[in-house]
Structures are given as C-alpha cells and as structure tokens.
Amino acid sequence: MCGIVGYVGSRAATPLLLGGLKRLEYRGYDSAGVAAWQPETLAIRKCVGRLSALEQSLEQQPVAGTLGVGHTRWATHGEPSEVNSHPHTDCSGRIAVVHNGIIENYQELRAELERQGHKFCSQTDTEVIPHLIEAELKVGAASPEEAIRRALRRAKGAYALGVLFHDQPRTLYAARCGSPLIVGVGQGEQFIASDVPAIVDQVRRVIYLNDGEVVALRPEGVSISKLDGTAVEAKIQPVTIAAESVEKAGFETFMLKEIHEQPRILRHLLAQHGWQNGSVAMPDFGLGAPYFRKLNRMMVVACGSAYHTGMYGKLLLENFTSLAVETDLASEFRYRDPKIDPGTLVVAVSQSGETADTLASIRMAKSWGCKVLSICNVPGSTVARESDAVFFTEAGPEIGVAATKSFTAQQMAFALLALFIGRARNEVNEAQAQELLSDLQRVPDAIVYVLERREAVRKVADKHHDGPSSLYLGRRFNYPTALEGALKNKEISYQHAEGYAAGEMKHGPIALINEYLPVICLCTQTRDEVYAKMISNMKEVEARHGRIIALATDGDAAMPGLAEDIIWVPAVRDEFSPLVNVVALQLLAYYAAQARGTDIDKPRNLAKSVTVE
Ligand code: M6R
C-alpha cells in the first residue's frame, strides 16, 4: 500500500526521498509525489505511474531543500491521478501532508470544513488532514504539533502521516495510528519511513512509533508525544537487517532471488530450533510448557498466502497433537462470533506484520482473553508488537510482492511448532520427534534439487503459459499447496488459475476440463492413502482430454503414462512435501509470468502489505 519517506537534515532532500521511495516500490503504488521546503514556498511535484516519471519531472524542474516528504500512492479513494496523488495541502499551500491509511470519517469532516470555506481539489480522504490542521491553527492551536494532535483527535480510521509546514523550515512532523511508520535516527539528520528497508542504507538506528504518537523531527533530535500532549520517551533500537538484503544480488528479479534463498533460510530455522534436551529447541514463548499442556483449541488467522500456510499448519498440528485446530481468513474471522475462550491459542500468521485484517483479528482475540502467538517475518512490526509471543521466521526482507521465502519459512515454523507442542503435551514421543526432525532436515536439500532443475520447469511453463486458465489439484497436505500454486500463478502471470481439493473436482470444476486446460496435479504423497485417490482424479482428467502436468516424486512409474508433462521432485516425508512442491510451483508461475511479459516483482494492482481493510 502507500509508502512514506521523509527527511530533515543538511543534505538535499529529494534524492534521499526518491531513493527511499524506490525501496518502497514493492509495496505497490500507482502514483507518486514529493514536497520539499524552499524559502518562498513548499515545492510539490506529483506524477501518475512509476517513480521514473517523478524522477524525470524532478530532473526537469529540480527542487532544492533539506526538508521534505515523499509518497507512493495505492489508490483507495479516488482514481490514480495527479490531483489525487500526495502530498496534499491546505488552502494556503503552506501545509503539506502525505498519508498511508484511510480516514473513515472524511466525508463528515470535509463537509464541515467546506462549510467553513475550505476549498478541496481531490477526491481523497487524505485532503481533510491539512485542512483540519489549518483550521486548528486558525482557532489558536499553540504550535504546529498541537494543531496536528487536535486534528488527529477528530480523525477516525488509520493513518501514518508526514507533515511539512512552510513556517517550520527545520522540522518534519509525523504521526501514526494503525498504519506503519518508523523514525530513522541519524547524525544531524532524521528520517521517517513506512518500513526499515526504505532507509536501511541511510541509518542504523530506528524508533518504532506506537499508535497515537506524534513526532517532531529536527536535525538534532526527535521528540514524541501522545495525542493528549503527554511526552513519550523515544526507544531507539538498532537496525537488524543489512543493506545488501534489499538488493537483487545479481538475480534478474527480487522474486527469483527470494526463491533461491529458501534452502538457506530453512536451514537457518532448523539450526535455530534443532534438537535439544529431548525436544525441539524453542523458547516456550513466555507462555510456559504448562500452558501448552492445558490448551484445548487453536485458531489460526491470516490472509492470502499466509492463510494457505495456516491451512497447512492446521493439518500438521492436528497430525502431531490432539488439539482441535481451525484456520480462518482474518477478513472473515473478524466478523464472526467464533465462540472462543481464553483456553484457545490464536495464531496469527503474517509476513509483513502490518496486514489490517490480521491485526484486527489479533485485537479481537485479545479482547476475549486469548493469548496470541504470531508467526511473523518483520521485527518491530505491529503484529509482532501486539502479540503475546512471536515466532520470527527470519527470512529477511521480502521485496517481491509474491510471497515465496516467507511462505516456506512459515511452513517450517508450523512444522517446528507442531513438533514442539506435540512434545510439550507428550503426544509425540522422543523417538518420533527425532525421526520427524531428521526428515525435516532433508527438505532444504530437496529444494536445492528443485532449483537446480529449474530449466525443466521453465520448459513446462513455456509450453502452457498462453492459455486463459489453469487448474491446480491437490489433496490433504498438498491441498493448501494447490491453492498457493494457483495464487502465485494468477498474481504474477495474470493467468486465471483455480486451486481445488482434488476430491471436489466432481462437484463442479470437472466441467471446466477440455483438451486445452492445463491441470496441475500434485501427486507426491506416495505413502499416503490419498495417493491412489489422486491417481483416480488424474485419470478422470485424462478421460476428458485435460492436459495433465504432474508434480511427482522422482521415479514414480505411474506418472509417465498418465501425464503430458511431469515436474519431478525428490522424495521427502509426505507431511513435509508441501515445502518442496511449492518451490516448483513458484518457479512454474515465475516462468509463466516471464513468458507473458508481466512486471514480476510489482504485479499490477497488488500491494505487498495490505494495511487497509
Ligand atoms: O504480510 P502478510 O503475510 O500478512 O500478507 C498477507 C497477504 O497479503 C499476502 O500473503 C499476499 O497474499 C501475497 N501477495 C501472496 O503472494
């Protein structure tokens, strides 16, 4: 969603703003803009489309100044257009605001401000903010900061804001409530940004702002207050990610780099949580082993790909523990009455840690007295901070919009968690746990093998990419894998794709099958009772002349006579096969997208981090 960068210091602001915005491109956007302080005015430049257009406009009409804010907009209220792009200003043009989030009561505020004579030019919700601040200054707010606080006490909804005042040439103001924003602390200069990767090349110290905080940044330091004016002590923390982690490292795209990082990340997680004292080495998350023994139910909530890992996690937890486990989409869960009590552990899964629906679910669960354990990739994110306990997936920044390395890291987290809880409850004995862990250790090498055979996957993608649609079928552990494979395909190649439980085929999707439809059949659980059922489903597709692409285990003699194309993967334990299979499907989607010429790292309409509902 929208990205924000701001700077105050002694260097020229706009190159720093552009640099930061480029690092936020992955969040998704359709227009961009900057504002910078100049002696006579606040200079504003805006452009629809990619940042290169804004860069060109700044080359043609450069803007000097050492104080500024920049923004990438992902349209919610009002089409992508120059007038709707941020920064937005008050009537005088002397207050400029960039915003990420949604001001829910903007219509009411706008009507009131218009009655007072304020002139609006955009269709956005954001534009009420500079006008509200202007109005508060007119009626006697003692300082710009006080005017911001008063304005925000009236705004309902979510926001991360950067604010410039023309009569404050050395101060950048910012505030957050519900949308991410951090402060980057430098030497004689300060930054604001939507996330750490945006400024990782500039600062090594950050402050994670809390909801309801307003900050004034000056070259010499920052001061933070709450909306009621109470001062807050700044908690400065070190940046833990390296600047190189947000570079492509020689790969043509971030997505391809991130696909290739998976074996290393999984090995790291396994090393962190290896065997120790008869169990999986894992802190008890401050919840204590007795908590896990008494637990009676788990509820997993997440969105998108993270929901697919949640579905897989449920199967593993059910397999290795006696717990009743349910998984739900956070956007549905938050409007349900799921009848859960404090005896339920809610597990929230989120790469970014900023997904609005997942956060709302966490808050609901906490209000019911439940403990929340999150599986999250971003330290300092709101999900991580609001959860009682966090399993960090430590996959590093994921820049490609399509989840890849965060997905397999979440799967691994669930596998380790299931073994840990199974041991804590004595439902998995020591010998079983050791065997399962050693089977899990085989997964990274199996993924390396899939990556080494990527050219074979490319050939399959080249042959099948141009149809209008494709169908992904799987069963049991690989039903969520089928959903994820289809999601990967549609989000980066724009080819319509359906993921289905193979057993559901006869209940509808079989009607789609004809001699043109590629049907990707996940048939690797060779020791599982569902293997034979999957073969039957494939025969049903074959009988209707569907084009079968099988994902099969090396050496499976049943496949060559059945499938038109086969993507071979090494054998791993059935329960853990989704971690290997999904990598093959990531590559399949990747090469299909490449053949279809899409913008793989920044697919149209998508945002990496969905911070509004
Ligand atoms: O940051 P989160 O894991 O909470 O994000 C959830 C989804 O928005 C995300 O997984 C999305 O579905 C990805 N684009 C999938 O590739």
**Domains observed in the chain:** 3-246 (3.60.20.10), 248-441 (3.40.50.10490), 445-600 (3.40.50.10490)
Average pLDDT, the chain: 94
Q: Name the residue type at position 220.
A: E
Verify whether ligand 1 is closer than 6 Å to residue 310 (CB atom): no
Among protein residues, the one with the nearest Cα to ligand 1's atom 8 is: 304
Q: Residue 612 Cα, ligand 1 centroid: separation in angstroms?
A: 13
Determine contact, residues 2/100, Cβ cutoff 8 Å.
yes
Q: Rounded to whole angstroms, how far apart are CA atoms 197 and 199?
A: 5
H-run or E-run covering 552: strand 547-553
Q: What is the pLDDT of residues 244-281, one digit of tens each?
A: 888 888 999 999 999 999 999 999 999 998 877 777 77
Q: What is the pLDDT of residues 35-70, one digit of tens each?
A: 999 999 999 999 999 899 999 999 999 999 999 999
Distance 532 CA to ligand 1 centre (A): 33
Nearest to 564, CA basis, from 434, 491, 467: 467
Q: 374, 366 in Cβ contact below 8 A?
A: no
| Catalytic center residues | 2, 608
Distance CA 237, CA 185 (A): 9
How many Cβ atoms sit within 10 Å of the Cβ of residue 193?
A: 30
- Looking at residue 357, its pLDDT comes to 95
**193 vs 419: CA distance, rounded Å:** 38
Least trusted range by pLDDT, from 254-263, 275-284, 365-374, 504-513: 275-284
In this prediction, residues 601-610 reach a mean pLDDT of 88
Burial track 573-604 (b if 16+ CB lie within 10 A, e otherwise): bbbbbbbbbbbbbbbbbbbbbbbeebebbbbe
d(CA 380, CA 182): 9
pLDDT in tens, 140-178: 888 999 999 999 999 999 899 999 999 999 999 999 998
Distance from residue 375's CA to the centre of ligand 1 (Å): 13
Tell whether ligand 1 has an atom less than 6 A from the beta carbon of residue 610: yes
Please determine, for residue 12, whether its predicted confidence score (pLDDT) is greater than 80: yes
Q: Is 355 in the pocket of ligand 1 (CB under 6 A)?
A: yes
Section 384-388 average pLDDT: 93
Distance between CA atoms of residues 350 and 331, nearest Å: 13
Nearest residue CA, atom 12 of ligand 1? 304
- Protein residue whose Cα sits closest to atom 11 of ligand 1: 304
Q: 248: burial class by Cβ within 10 Å (0-12, 13-18, 19+)?
A: middle
pLDDT digit string (tens) for 348-359? 999 999 999 999
| Residue closest to 72 by CA, chosen among 3, 20, 26, 127 | 3
pLDDT digits (tens, 9 = 90+) for 187-233: 999 999 999 999 999 999 999 999 999 999 999 999 999 999 999 99
Q: Which residue out of 305, 392, 407 has the highest number of ligand 1 atoms within 8 Å of its CB and is therefore the one to mutate?
A: 305
User: Contact 478/581 with Cβ under 8 angstroms?
Assistant: yes
How far is Cα 282 from Cα 274, in angstroms, rounded to an integer?
A: 8
Residue corresponding to tokens 């990340």: 265
Q: Is 352 in the pocket of ligand 1 (CB under 6 A)?
A: yes
* Both tokens assigned to 122: 């955009």
Q: How far from 143 is each of 205, 231, 508, CA to CA, in Å?
A: 28, 15, 64
Question: Could you give the CA distance from residue 7 to residue 203 in angstroms, rounded to a whole number?
Answer: 12
Helix, strand or coil, per DSSP, at residue 516? coil
The span from the CA of 590 to the CA of 269, in Å, is: 25
Average pLDDT over residues 103-117: 96
Tell me phi and psi for residue 501, to 5 degrees: -75, 125
| Cα 103 to ligand 1 centre (Å) | 23
Q: Each residue of 472-489: pLDDT tens digit?
A: 999 999 999 999 999 999
Share of the chain above pLDDT 90, in %: 85
Dist. CA 13–CA 64, nearest whole Å: 7
The CA 140 to ligand 1 mean position distance, Å, reads 44
Direct distance between the N- and C-terminal alpha carbons of the chain, in angstroms, rounded to an integer: 11
At residue 137, what is the residue type? L
Distance 116 CA to ligand 1 centre (A): 42
For a mutational test of ligand 1's pocket, the pick from 352, 377, 408, 582, i.e. the residue with the most ligand atoms closer than 8 A to its C-beta, is: 352
Q: Which residue has the tokens 């396994």?
A: 270
pTM for the full predicted model: 0.86
Contacts by 46-52, CB closer than 8 A, 24 or more apart: 46/82, 46/85, 46/86, 46/87, 47/82, 47/85, 48/80, 48/81, 48/82, 48/85, 51/18, 51/21, 51/22, 51/25
- pLDDT of amino acid 279: 73
Nearest CA to ligand 1 atom 14: 402
472, 498 in Cβ contact below 8 A? yes
DSSP helix/strand/coil, 350: strand
Query: Nearest-CA neighbor of 586 among 519, 518, 489?
Result: 489
In contact, 77 and 110? CB cutoff 8 Å: no
Which of 1, 347, 355 for a ligand 1 pocket mutation test, highest count of atoms within 8 Å of Cβ?
A: 355
Return the pLDDT at 131: 98
Query: Is ligand 1 within 6 A of the CB of residue 403?
Result: yes
Per-position DSSP letters for 84-152, written without gaps between them: TSSPEE-TTS-EEEEEEEEETTHHHHHHHHHHTT----SS-STTHHHHHHHHHHHTT-SSHHHHHHHHH
Strand 371-376 with 344-350, pairing: parallel
Centre a 10 Å sphere on the Cβ of residue 143 and count the other Cβ atoms it contains.
12
pLDDT greater than 80 at residue 128: yes
The residue to which tokens 């006080």 are assigned: 146
* Residue 498 CB contacts under 8 Å (≥ 6 apart), including other chains: 469, 470, 471, 472, 486, 509, 512
Q: Which residue's CA lies nearest to atom 10 of ligand 1?
A: 305
Question: CA-CA distances (angstroms) from residue 200 to 8, 20, 90, 247, 378?
Answer: 16, 9, 32, 11, 14
> Which among 230, 198, 195, 199 is positioned nearest to 209, based on CA atoms?
195
